[in-house]
Amino acid sequence: DLIVSTTGAPEPVVSLSLYQEIEGQRQGRPLVILDLAVPRDFDSRIGERPGVWLYSIDDLSQTCDSNRRRRQKELPAALTIVEEETRRFMGELHHRSTVPVIEQLRAGWEETGELELDRLFHKLPELDANSQREIRQAFERYAAKMLHPPMVSLRSESKAGPPHGLLEALRRLFDLKE
């Protein structure tokens, strides 16, 4: 059973003797009493009776204080997690800002490479399909190797913060759009 009491009475409403008179009628059923009144409505000795749990506003306040101290103790660990996740998120966000530049750079190299290879193959019609494929693959490997250092730098710089300087330099050097 549960009793919640919140009167504004100046003295306890339920004395120990009054409780003892009705205690037998309860037939040993457990009882939780939340005495939220100030001053208390229940004599504090009632909480010492078997099967009775008496909680006052002071008990709740102590529990809240204890919980608050435990939460405060865990705060540094929680803040560390928040900081790590914020750094990770911001790094990912900065990295995403590099994706359009990387895509434009690769597309530009691929397009230029295709145009130059087509031009070369027109000038050298004697090349068979196998030779053309080998030349094309060599050119693709060359382009990938040339693009690798700026890509690595861009990714690395984006992890440290917004890579605005390097992004702007790549845009200007390779005539890329914003």
Query: What is the Cα–Cα distance from 76 to 73, expressed in whole angstroms?
Result: 7
Q: How far apart are the first and last CA of the chain?
A: 70
Please tell me the predicted confidence (pLDDT) of residue 163: 62
Please tell me the predicted confidence (pLDDT) of residue 10: 93
Beta bridge partners of 35: 5, 56
User: Nearest CA to 51 among 83, 28, 78?
Assistant: 28
Please tell me the predicted confidence (pLDDT) of residue 72: 96
Please tell me the predicted confidence (pLDDT) of residue 168: 82
Residue 14 DSSP label: B
Query: What is the Cα–Cα distance from 144 to 122, expressed in whole angstroms?
Result: 24
CA–chain centroid gap for 91, Å, is: 13
- Return per-residue pLDDT of the chain as tens, 178 residues: 999 999 999 999 999 999 999 988 888 899 999 999 999 999 999 999 999 999 999 998 999 999 999 999 999 999 999 999 998 888 888 878 788 888 888 898 899 999 999 999 999 999 999 999 999 999 999 999 998 988 888 878 777 777 678 878 888 888 887 7
Please tell me the predicted confidence (pLDDT) of residue 120: 95
Please tell me the predicted confidence (pLDDT) of residue 92: 83
